[in-house]
Amino acid sequence: MDGDIGIEMAKILLVEDDNDMCQQIESWLKHEQHAVEIVKEGPEAADRLKFYKYDVVILDWQLPGMSGVDVLKQFRNQGGSTPVLMLTGKGNIEEKEQGLDSGADDYLTKPFHFKELSARLRAMLRRPAVTTGNQLKLRGIELDLAARKVSREGEDVHLLPKEFALLEFLLRHPNEVFSPEALLDRVWHSESDSSVDTVYTTMRTLRKKISTEKSGALIKTVHGLGYTIENR
């Protein structure tokens, strides 16, 4: 296998009930020098996450006994902040949205290339943990996932649904730069009539609503590349 070694060894919990998929992922991750523990049922995964610590969790949606999203919800509600990568069925946008709303840091659609899995894991392992239960917090901004509310330095901020989704996505990926095209694909994936102009418009109104004289511009423009939120 041609692995991409770019980070230190991580302790990974792989929750997947498909034997073939499980063996392939395990083999790839071990080739990249990671320590892998495997669980094939939802209730066991919930117990592992309750009593043991991991650097990252790869969590399938469809599991015996308890769905992956229910495992994730329970973990986040108990204060778990470990990065979670959810595996979803091909083209199932509703699963992706529900997974992210439940506290997943990222998702990967089956079938996928293992190099993409490695890239997603590297990004997640570099990322500072900003998730606490159902909240995302960064530089004076607090986003409540359950209540769908946002506050800036203690004051409520009214955001439209797509502004909320855009801010949530950027907060889940601090210090990463996303082009307008990438944001269109990741945040507006279910709206085929949207365009890059929609991203520009939503970004402009979002930045105006969450910026203050004290904090300045929370969302930074990287010339020629796109947008990012810096965790500083």
Each residue's pLDDT tens digit, 43-64: 999 999 988 888 899 999 889 9
pLDDT score, position 1:
42
pLDDT score, position 146:
76
pLDDT score, position 179:
92
Smallest Cα–Cα separation from 162: which of 186, 178, 142?
A: 186
Q: What are phi and psi of 213, to 5 degrees?
A: -65, -35
- Joined together, the tokens standing for residue 47 give 């117990």
Alpha carbons 7 and 122: distance in angstroms, whole number: 6
- Range 11-126: architecture per CATH: 3-Layer(aba) Sandwich (3.40)
Percentage of the chain lying above the pLDDT 90 cut: 32
pLDDT score, position 142:
87
- Checking if the pLDDT of 7 tops 50, the result is no
Contact 124, 10 (CB under 8 A): no
Percentage of the chain lying above the pLDDT 70 cut: 84
- Checking if the pLDDT of 136 tops 60, the result is yes
pLDDT score, position 157:
93
- Joined together, the tokens standing for residue 138 give 């960064």
Alpha carbons 145 and 120: distance in angstroms, whole number: 22
Higher-pLDDT residue of 96, 108 = 108
**What does pLDDT average to over the chain?**
83
The total of other beta-carbon atoms located within 10 Å of residue 128's CB is 8
- Checking if the pLDDT of 133 tops 60, the result is no
* Domain(s) of CATH 1.10.10.10: residues in the chain: 131-229
pLDDT score, position 99:
64
Mean pLDDT on 153-170? 89
- Checking if the pLDDT of 132 tops 70, the result is no
The total of other beta-carbon atoms located within 10 Å of residue 94's CB is 10
- Range 131-229: architecture per CATH: Orthogonal Bundle (1.10)
pLDDT grade, residue 204 (50/70/90)? very high
Residue 127 one-letter amino acid = R
pLDDT grade, residue 38 (50/70/90)? very high
Omega before 111 cis (within 30°)?
yes
pLDDT score, position 131:
53
pLDDT score, position 66:
93
pLDDT score, position 27:
94
pLDDT tens string 62-106: 899 999 989 998 998 887 878 899 888 755 566 666 667 777 888
- Joined together, the tokens standing for residue 113 give 């290339």
* Domain(s) of CATH 3.40.50.2300: residues in the chain: 11-126
When mean pLDDT is compared over 66-70, 144-148, 170-174, the highest value belongs to: 66-70
Contacts made by residues 38-41, CB under 8 angstroms, sequence distance 24+: 38/14, 39/13, 39/14, 39/15, 40/15, 40/16, 40/64, 41/17, 41/65, 41/66
Alpha carbons 50 and 82: distance in angstroms, whole number: 11
Q: What is the CA radius of gyration of the chain?
A: 18
Burial class (CB in 10 A: 0-12, 13-18, 19+), 95: buried
